[in-house]
Structure 1
């Protein structure tokens, strides 16, 4: 009988320890902070059939007219970004033109050439002409922002985002008044 009780106590202790480890894992998961910015590819890199070219013209206050001629826009990729409150993209550029749709929350987009924060909300869209240094961020203190980015003229392989070097990024942060405390990497 003593042997049976010892096994029962040992089994109960292991069960309690296992339950406590499970609860600790759940508590850690529940309280874990989300990444400042997450990217979820909605498509792989796809190719349109036939040759696709296009021209996009954009006029924004304070900037010269952007005219983008995509002689080969046949490669496309779509990515959903979730940007936590206060999170800032590092300064970067893209190898192609990006069409950005804001689906949730507020979004501020800024070109390095003029440091003007252009504000967008749900149902709005913008054009990043590509090959131009910029940043973007979620200005909210408590609501995440979700944007869908469609990159036209994406390369067959290689990076879709090209960060500027750290010194140039720091200089642009200072010039444009960007707080880097919540920069995503």
Structure 2
């Protein structure tokens, strides 16, 4: 494991801190050790198992998203999958493939698949801020979080055409 601290020093290459050495070795922490705080950012129930979410992942990014009423993400897709937890409000998610809509409310979590074929737009049609936490599983260190796409146009059979257009 390669751990880097805030000064760019690999923590694994330094001698152990006497305050944490006993905790790392399984012993109780010293009496004067500061207490850690763990603050849950969001909690949500997923509808489906997540067996392959982290496959082919080079970088993980966590993002706190606040979308005001009337806000939108614009049409886009993702180069890697992401896990989203809605903490407040309601997300209206429109899929480019068939223009169907889904909603996710506070306490719900969902996965967005990667690729142009999974393009979508997210809107806050509610009256309060929409607050979400997203964990992006990116295929490369320099991958963007999202890639803009054109508004879907009707295809030959009246179905949405998600191919990029100039």
Whether the TM-score (by the shorter chain) exceeds 0.5 is yes
Question: Do structure 1's residue 136 and structure 2's residue 118 form an aligned pair?
Answer: no
Give the aligned length: 107
Distance 1:138 1:69, change over 3 A: closer
CA contact (8 A) 2:57 2:140 kept: no
For 1:161 and 1:118, the matched residues in 2 are separated by 19
Is residue 87–residue 132 contact of structure 2 (8 Å, CA) maintained in 1? Answer: yes
Q: 1:154, CA displacement in angstroms? A: 4.4
- The runs of at least 4 consecutive aligned structure 1 residues that moved more than 2 Å come to 67-71
Instruction: State TM-score, norm by structure 1.
Output: 0.51
DSSP-derived class of the 2:151 partner:
helix
Q: Structure 1 regions of 5+ residues with no counterpart? A: 1-56, 60-66, 177-185
Q: Is the radius of gyration larger for structure 1 or structure 2?
A: 1
Query: Is 1:89 paired with 2:73?
Result: yes
Deviations 1:21-50 (A, max 9, x none): xxxxxxxxxxxxxxxxxxxxxxxxxxxxxx
Match of 1:9 in 2: none
Structure-2 change in CA distance of 1:121 and 1:71 (3 Å):
closer
Cα shift readout 1:67-107 (whole Å, capped 9, x = no counterpart): 96754224210111111101121110111001010001111
- Higher helix share goes to which structure? 1
SS for the counterpart of 1:143 is coil
Are 2:161 and 1:169 aligned? no
Alignment of 1:83-122 (within 5 A): 83-122=67-106
* Aligned residues of 1:101 and 1:148 also touching (Cα < 8 A): yes
Q: Give the aligned partner of residue 150 of structure 1.
A: 135
Whether the aligned pair in 2 keeps the contact of 1:93 and 1:163 (CA below 8 Å) is yes
Question: RMSD value over aligned CA atoms?
Answer: 2.7
Q: 1:139-165, CA deviations, whole angstroms, 9 ceiling, x for partnerless residues?
A: 11x21100111011342014211001x
Distance in 2 separating the partners of 1:158 and 1:170: 23
